[in-house]
Structure 1
Amino acid sequence: MAEASEYAATFDLVDTDGDGLISVDELHALMGNLGDDCTRERAAAVVRSMDTDGDGRISLEEFTAYMDRQ
């Protein structure tokens, strides 16, 4: 598994409120800013697929684990 620090800069770009977690709204906004017409429901599904502790948000550790699987 990669160290979380390898993905921290990318994570921080998405975590716009700086709380250390990526929310559905943050992911949805990012996708819109990138020109993807991702629905909020699709963004929620992506968050659920990465959210291993069930809190509804993506931590840096969850993000790192997901990126390592890709």
Structure 2
Amino acid sequence: MADNSAYAQTFDLVDTDDDGRISAEELRDLMERLGEPVTEERAAEAVRALDSSGDGLISLDEFARFMSERTA
């Protein structure tokens, strides 16, 4: 299990509506601010790829798991 606290600050920057989940829209907005715009469809695909619970959103647990796998 990933250490969520290591990724909580970054997660909070993306979770702009503070609901504890990252939506495709929030991900798309982040990518646009970073100068790497993505389509709505691509953002939705990325969320589906990380969403292990099937709720259509990325939780902190799902985000931390993804981030820890990428840095391992």
How many residues are paired up? 70
Runs of 4+ that moved beyond 3 A: none
TM-score of the aligned structures, taking structure 2 as reference length: 0.92
Aligned partner of 1:64 in structure 2 is 64
Q: CA RMSD in A?
A: 0.8
Aligned partner of 1:24 in structure 2 is 24
Gaps of 5+ in 1: none
Partner AA of 2:32 in structure 1: G
Hey, what's the Cα distance between the residues in 2 that align with 1:24 and 1:37?
Answer: 12
Question: Which SS does the other structure have where 1:37 is aligned?
Answer: coil
Hey, what's the Cα distance between the residues in 2 that align with 1:40 and 1:28?
Answer: 7
Is the 8 Å Cα contact of residues 23 and 56 (structure 2) preserved in structure 1? yes
Aligned partner of 2:7 in structure 1 is 7
Gaps of 5+ in 2: none
Partner AA of 2:67 in structure 1: M
